[in-house]
Amino acid sequence: MTSFDDIYNQPDPRAYFRALGPLEYQSPHHAQGPFRRMLTFCESSKDSEGPATVLDICCSYGINAALLNHDLAFDDLYAHYTSAQATALSTAELIQWDREFYAAHRRPAPVRVIGLDAAPHAVSYARAVGLLDEAFAENLETAPASTALRHAARHTRLITVTGGTSFLSPRTFQPLLDSIPGPVWVAAFVLRTGSYQPIADCLKLYGLITEKAADHTFPQRRFTSAQEQQYAIQAVTAAGEDPRGKETDGYFHTTLFLSRPAADAARTPLADLLQSI
C-alpha cells in the first residue's frame, strides 16, 4: 500500500486534505451518521450513567470529533482546508481561524471526545482548536498506556476507529478496556484487505460480541496505482471476500464492525444504526 506517513504528523491538516482529496478519501464521511446514532443508543442504555465520552483511536487531526460535534460534512472540511484563505495562513493563524470556524458550527450539547494517536503534532493541533477535550500522543502497540490516558478513558462509552486498524492489535485495546469499568461499544471501519478477528477475539474477553455489517461496504479511497489495486484485489480474495464491484472498480473498501454487550445488541439491531445508508 502507498505510504502517507508524511501527511499524518504535520503541524496542521492542510497537507492531509490536499493529498487525500484527489484520491476521494471518505471514511469519516461514512462514519459520521452511524457514530452519531450509536452514541444516542449507547447513551440510552439502561447501564449508561450520564453523558458518554467518545475515545477516537488513530484520531489524527480530530476529524471524527469535528464531524460528531459540528454541523459540518466531510466535504466542508476539504473545502475549508484547501481554500485560498487557509493556504495563505501560518499554522498559528490557522489555529486561531479554526477555533472561530468550529465554534461557529458547534452543535448543542457536544459530546466529550478523547483523541489517541501516535502523531504528536496532529493531536496537538486537534487539542489547540478545541476539537478534542483531551489528546494523547501514544502508541500502545509499542509502549504501555500512560496513567493519564487510563484515567481519561475511564468514562468512555464509545470507542471509534475509521483508519489505522491495519496497524492495530489487541495490544492497543487491552489497556483501554482495562481502564473502563462500565459497558462500552467499539465501532471500527476496517479495510477488507486484512482481518479484524484478533481484535474481535480480544473484545470478546471483555464481554463484547462483534457484529459485521455484512450488507454494506464503504469506499475508503481511490487506488494510487494499478499495483496497489492488484494488491487489494488479491488480499480481499485471500480473506474470503468478493472484490467485484468494489476493489475491482478502483477503490479500497472498508467493513463496519461493531462490538458491544449482548444485551445492547439484542435491544438495538445493527441494521437500525445503518438505516440511512
Give per-residue pLDDT as tens, 89-102: 999 999 999 999 99
| CA–CA gap between residue 160 and residue 144 (Å, rounded) | 20
Angstrom distance (rounded) from CA 138 to CA 123: 10
Q: Of 171 and 51, which is predicted with more confidence?
A: 171
> Which phi and psi (to 5°) does residue 113 adopt?
-125, 130
pLDDT (mean) for 227-233: 97
The whole-number average pLDDT for the span 121-136 is 98
The burial class, CB within 10 Å (0-12 / 13-18 / 19+), for 236 is: buried
Q: Reply yes or no on whether the pLDDT at 277 is more than 60.
A: no
Task: Calculate mean pLDDT across residues 229-255.
Answer: 97
Give Cβ neighbours of residue 39 (< 8 Å, ≥ 6 apart). Answer: 52, 54, 68, 111, 157, 158
Residue with cell 481502564: 179
pLDDT grade for 248, boundaries at 50, 70 and 90: very high
pLDDT of residue 249: 97
* Highest mean pLDDT of the ranges 39-43, 72-76, 178-182: 72-76
Q: What is the mean pLDDT of residues 126-133?
A: 98
pLDDT in tens, 170-199: 999 999 999 999 899 999 999 999 999 999
Q: What is the mean pLDDT of the chain?
A: 95
In this prediction, residue 215 has a pLDDT band, given cuts at 50, 70 and 90, of: confident
Closest residue by Cα to residue 54 from 186, 229, 207: 186
What whole-number percentage of the chain has pLDDT above 70? 96
- State the Cα torsion 114-120-124-127 to the nearest 10°: 0
The per-residue pLDDT for 22 is 97
Q: Which DSSP string do the residues of 71-94 spell out, in sequence order?
A: S--HHHHHHHHTSHHHHTS-HHHH
User: Which H/E stretch holds residue 34?
Assistant: helix 27-43
CA atoms of 17 and 22, how far apart (whole Å): 9
Helix (H, G, I), strand (E, B) or coil at 2: coil
pLDDT at 276 over 90: no
